[in-house]
A and B are shown apart, each in its own frame.
Chain A
């Protein structure tokens, strides 16, 4: 115990703090880039999955296959697959880019499920009314379905993204300099594992907890009817 405390001044050197701050920034960048991109792509996947008509059947099946299988592969496996696949074709590809692609592949599958649930929560008669008014499929989606399903989509999408901050710890395995990776490095340099990983856990908490609370706040706010919300920003 004394030994661990004795390391504290050394451990808290300006160098190490900058090192860890950088790693935190990397963790957040990976999460936001991967999940944000995945969220957008997921809309396209859901759109394809809900396209009617026989000609679209193969595309529908492909979309279903993608969503259902990627939700059943561990993220670490997806990350390795993307790493080795890209490495086989492109020499010296950026590890950050590889990690973002892996996260994006994974996040798209999960977000697609969330978005589909949101779309299906819009009452059937709202869509029928849009049809009776001659809305095109695109207009029905953008004018009616998406605005009405936000309150259902946003909270779980937020939960997924915040949870993913923790999962980024796994991309250290493909060599991205995020928080978990830096933790191993400091530990290997001789700093106490208790000190290092205790600190790292705390830093993850600092990133994850405020966003979790924000998500809970958002969910409560979106659950109130739009006419009773304080200011009309999220209408």
Chain B
């Protein structure tokens, strides 16, 4: 049974149809990558999954149970089981690193503080930030902030991790430290749905690549098929443009 099933998902934004019948599924421990030109709706899918943008139709099934997104309780349930990392890190500016990572598990999930702090220290050490536990976001580089954001998402123990263009806002020399952290997660078997423009990285890490355009899935499959044998003109065009860069 697939871990996450998205079926016929649609969403509109101010009368503009931004998602139009999106379907795909994701096995446990799998990494799926959404690629495509800007404005094709990749990030919107993640936002809909997190209940930040309302859906206008379709079904989402996580681990066998359907999430309806039609009540505050079901949206809470979705947010309880999935975690998202944003392009702009979005760390809480008024909290230090430790508090950013522990606040949701302690205050929202009501887990014991000592246990959460120990876990947070372990995760932050793993992403290479053991010496920054009490720094504030404005004292950190973009790459460091993004690794804190990843740690914050992991501390929630999500069933799926959603990564929304997590390296797009970073200076080139800081990209690798974040990609390394994600590689580690993939190795540990974390199920991830990522939106990325780093094609080399996508090819290396993803089990499935989903190409999107104008709110629809154009083509999906294994990275080798998608990048080396694109079947549709649209994908060939996109891949060609990317590889020429």
Contact = CB atoms under 8 A, between A and B. Distances in A.
Contact flag (A, B; Cβ within 8 A): yes
Interface of A: 125-126, 128-135, 139, 143-144, 147-148, 225-227, 235
Given A126-B93, A144-B92, A144-B94, A134 B80 contact: yes
Contact of A132 (B50, B92, B103): B50
Given A125-B90, A143-B103, A144-B92, A132 B136 contact: no
Given A129-B86, A226-B138, A143 B107 contact: yes
Contact of A227 (B76, B88, B136): B136
B243 interface: no
B52 A125 contact: no
20 contacts: A126-B90, A126-B93, A128-B52, A128-B90, A131-B51, A132-B84, A133-B103, A133-B104, A133-B152, A134-B108, A135-B104, A139-B108, A143-B95, A143-B107, A144-B94, A148-B93, A148-B94, A226-B138, A227-B136, A227-B139
B156 A133 contact: yes
A130 B52 CA distance: 11
B79 A132 contact: yes
Interface string B129-171: 0000001101100000000000010001000000000000000
Interface centre among B76, B104, B135, B156 (most CB of A within 10 A): B104
Interface of B: 50-52, 76, 79-80, 83-84, 86, 88, 90, 92-95, 103-104, 107-108, 135-136, 138-139, 152, 156
B127 to A, nearest CB: 18
B138 to A, nearest CB: 5
Given A143-B107, A148-B92, 15 more contacts: A125-B86, A125-B90, A126-B93, A128-B90, A131-B51, A131-B52, A133-B104, A133-B156, A134-B76, A134-B80, A135-B104, A143-B92, A147-B94, A227-B136, A235-B94
Contacts of B83: 132
Contacts of B92: 126, 129-130, 143-144, 148
Contacts of A143: 92, 95, 103, 107
Contacts, number: 58
Contacts of A134: 76, 79-80, 104, 108
A131 B54 CA distance: 13
A222 to B, nearest CB: 12
A45 to B, nearest CB: 23
A227 B138 contact: yes
A226 B50 contact: no
A133 B88 contact: no
A225 B138 CA distance: 8
Contact of B136 (A125, A128, A226): A226
Contacts of A135: 104, 107-108
A132 B53 CA distance: 11
Interface centre among A125, A134, A148 (most CB of B within 10 A): A134
